[in-house]
Structure 1
Amino acid sequence: MSAPPVAEPPVARGVLPAPGPLRPLALATLLSRVGNGLLMTVSVLYFNRIVGLSIAQVGLGLTIAGLFGLLSAVPLGHLADRRGPRGLFVVLSLLVCAFSLVYLFVQNFWQFLAVSIVLTMIDRGAGAVRAALIAAVTTGAGRVAARAYLRAVTNIGITIGAGVGAFALHFDTGTAYRLMFVLDAVLSSVAAFVVLAIPRVAPQPHDDGGPVWIALRDRAYLAVAALNAGMSIHFAVLDVAIPLWVVDHTDAPRWTVAVLLIINTVVVSLFQVRSSRGIADPAAAARATRTAGLLLLAAMVLMAGATWGNAVIAVALLAVGAFVQVIAELLQSSGSFLLSFDLAPGHAQGQYQGVWNTSMSISTMVAPTVLAFLPLGLGVPGWIILGVWFAVVGLLFVPVVRWAAARQLVGSR
């Protein structure tokens, strides 16, 4: 029996989604993201303080693992199309849990590198398979609303996990850090089995006479994914650029960094679902992303302006800039949710989601270098250049998405 599609937006009332496949998926997301928050809080310190790796070694290992991770999303997404995404996602999630525990036996850099490569490849592939599962159990406006709801749940889960992980930081012992790895594995394992509550999704038939890697041949889809990756560099601004900008270039107090992160987290958690309403087709998604690009230009100008004011003015400009940026983030995320699904053929959602996830992974890898060179390296001019980049990319979305939608319409006939 295949999972029934969810045609309506998933939030019925309050904070719970309507009965159906989204409920177990939301619970699984919450549990696994709490575990992610735990490891995001303690993992680097564990490898540095307990295992004895240098920060440079940890960074190099994760960077190399990230490069290998680019190779897995498309093949595993394709496998999800051929075998069905639900069972494959459960298997991959359990493998991620197992290999995260292997970290506890790492004693040197080469062991850390090997485990990181395998873990990252499985995790990136699981992300593509998860997206294929969402595509299989949702449709239309319900699909975008479901992704928006799950993103809000993701933020809440990571925040909870970070709060629990703070206890390990307080005790600062090997036992406390290892306990966080075990707790992550337990939560993520339970999350994997919760996904089994979703009805089985039937595999998609394949035309044996056609090419296998159709997503890699779809130039229009690749172009939209590339634009989205270019726009998504802004996700790293608060994590990478703002802490150093606030401390080294403004009179704002250090606690401003935390305030800006709180603004982002709270707004996304409360309004991601609401921001997705009205984005029902590729044209609407493209217009929303165009608006996001212009808002990001304004946000970057506000961030840059904080360097010229006293503490009060700097805090005000940074706070307003963070608020404008998170509004842009809501619009771009909602547009991205729809475009990644609606511009892909139904029989190859896993493969196409693999391409989309790979483009996002490349964006994540490139973003720190871009931010180090532009705003942190060039200062105010760098912020302006970055803002103009976002605006130009946003403006390009409308014609490129129109082209991609037209090609998809022709291909479906």
Structure 2
Amino acid sequence: MNAALWRDRLGFPDTARRKRLVVTAAVDSLGTGLFLPLSVLYFVNVAGMDVAEVGLALSIGAGIALLGGPHTGTLIDRIGPGQMAALSCLLRTAAFLAYLGVDQFWQIIAISAVVLWGDNAFWPANSAMIIALCGREQRARWYALGRTVRSVGTGLGAALSGVIVATGSEGTRIVVLLNALSFAVVAVLLYTWREARVTTTTSGQETEDGEDSAEKRAGLRNVLADRPFLLVVASNALLAVCAMSLIVLLPLSANSLAPDAVWLPGLLFAVNGGLLMLAQGPAVRRIEASSPSRMLQASIALYAAGFATFMITPDIGGLIPILAMTAAVTLYTAGELIHPPTSVILVTDMARADLLGRYLSVNQLSWSVSHVITPAALAGLFAWNARLPWLVLLATCAATSGLLVLATRNLQPKEAVSA
């Protein structure tokens, strides 16, 4: 079997002349993985604050970052997604270097707001850049490959972080410095890659008589007036809650249903990660062969099946709860394989070419808002009743399915995004 057939079977894109996309994803995720285990503890140790203060400061910073989210799309459309991705990395380089001297509450708020704004700017810019560099027909494969590379890189970074921190008292500062360095490397890789630097979200066609139309100047107003798209953003926000639920609820549920199996959360997360890698090929081929709306409905059904399995898992000890939770994680993972790449594909199908950055940035809010509210909301529901969050998630799936039906029943793709 030749390389092209293996690549197709595994669901990988053609990476010829596009290897920098893989390298940047690997470097970025390695640095992120380094800092991830210390994201709260670093400030507790360095700034001398308690966990509650740090959590409040980071939450306020996240809220401030959300305010600028939609306007990043304007920058993406004006300066190009490649330059915006590089700029977001430079901002995060400076912010993580500033973390080395943080020692006050307001400093954590200000710097974390810059970091999170950079995060929120990078993802829509990266999605638009992939379309510009690789074409629409390769979207699912590149999004899936990026997810796989980033999962592996984040895991390796987290493991390496533990080793570095164990070397001595300066280990945490070294980790922060290395994360800043990773963002700087990605910025250099993108900015010195001419093809990425000159990418654009416009179709390259001017309006009649060379006019810069009022529609184009209106920009964000046009996006916010697109009601079907806003319904998709709302459904994506609910789906993001579903996607984030496992991180919050799996350790809690495993401890509640199988308290003696302290190894179970790690095993189930390993099952999740392994299936995401091994089943990528079949998932990508299915995504390419079907409509985005149909595949998103399938992912909702799979999420719901997983949540229902968690909810009805008996609290009887022994092997049955372990097998039931393994089945639940498998169903959830099947939904997770489909949902993230397909949701971005649906948004890019709905977007006007010259407003692609704005569409993607508004959609990014669905993830950003969910990141802020989901952990506390689900943990609070679980503290009230261990089965209540799963019931709420099932209701969330039902609401998401209804919103998607309303949003896509008369969907016609907008002007094709240029490749």
| TM-score > 0.5 by shorter chain | yes
Q: Alpha-carbon deviations, 1:226-274, whole Å to 9, x = none?
A: 1011022122222211212222354451211111111122222333354
Query: Bigger CA drift: 269-278 or 112-121?
Result: 269-278
Match status 1:177 vs 2:182 = no
Name the structure 2 match of 1:209. Answer: 214
Structure 1 counterpart of 2:181, one-letter code: V
Q: CA deviation at 1:63?
A: 1.0
SS of the aligned residue for 1:18 comes to coil
Q: How many residues align?
A: 399
Q: CA deviation at 1:361?
A: 0.7
Name the structure 1 match of 2:209. Answer: none
Q: Partners of 1:287 and 1:159 in 2: how far apart?
A: 32
SS of the aligned residue for 1:308 comes to coil
Q: CA deviation at 1:397?
A: 2.1
SS of the aligned residue for 2:412 comes to helix
Q: CA deviation at 1:408?
A: 4.1
Q: Partners of 2:13 and 2:131 in 1: how far apart?
A: 16
Q: Partners of 1:148 and 1:79 in 2: how far apart?
A: 26
Structure 2 counterpart of 1:372, one-letter code: A
Q: CA deviation at 1:12?
A: 6.2
Contact 1:65 1:113 in 2 (8 A): yes
C-alpha spacing 1:388/1:43, structure 2 compared with 1 (3 Å): closer
Q: CA deviation at 1:351?
A: 0.8
State how 1:131-170 maps to structure 2 within 5 Å: 131-170=127-166
Q: CA RMSD in A?
A: 2.6
Q: Alpha-carbon deviations, 1:196-242, whole Å to 9, x = none?
A: 32512146368432222122221111110110110221222222112
Among the aligned pairs, what percent are the same residue? 25
Name the structure 2 match of 1:276. Answer: 284
Match status 1:296 vs 2:303 = yes
SS of the aligned residue for 1:310 comes to coil
Name the structure 2 match of 1:60. Answer: 56
Name the structure 1 match of 2:342. Answer: 335
Name the structure 2 match of 1:3. Answer: none
Name the structure 2 match of 1:261. Answer: 269
Q: Partners of 2:228 and 2:181 in 1: how far apart?
A: 41
Name the structure 2 match of 1:241. Answer: 249
Structure 1 counterpart of 2:317, one-letter code: N
Query: Bigger CA drift: 327-336 or 17-26?
Result: 17-26
Structure 2 counterpart of 1:179, one-letter code: I
C-alpha spacing 1:227/1:21, structure 2 compared with 1 (3 Å): farther
C-alpha spacing 1:203/1:247, structure 2 compared with 1 (3 Å): closer
Structure 2 counterpart of 1:232, one-letter code: A
Q: CA deviation at 1:20?
A: 4.3
C-alpha spacing 1:141/1:202, structure 2 compared with 1 (3 Å): closer
Q: CA deviation at 1:407?
A: 7.8
Consecutive unaligned residues of structure 1, counting only runs of 5 or more, are 1-7
Q: Partners of 1:236 and 1:24 in 2: how far apart?
A: 29
Q: CA deviation at 1:381?
A: 4.3
Q: Partners of 1:93 and 1:52 in 2: how far apart?
A: 28
Contact 2:236 2:343 in 1 (8 A): yes
Q: Alpha-carbon deviations, 1:141-175, whole Å to 9, x = none?
A: 3112111111111111111111101113434x441
Match status 1:192 vs 2:200 = no
TM-score by length of 1: 0.88
Q: Partners of 1:263 and 1:42 in 2: how far apart?
A: 24
Structure 2 counterpart of 1:257, one-letter code: P
Given the alignment, which residue of 387, 398, 401 partners 1:394? 401
Name the structure 1 match of 2:374. Answer: 367
Q: Alpha-carbon deviations, 1:28-70, whole Å to 9, x = none?
A: 0110110000010123222112321211111111111111121
Q: Partners of 1:407 and 1:13 in 2: how far apart?
A: 28
Q: Partners of 1:52 and 1:322 in 2: how far apart?
A: 38
Match status 1:315 vs 2:313 = no
Query: Bigger CA drift: 120-129 or 177-186?
Result: 120-129
Q: CA deviation at 1:375?
A: 4.1
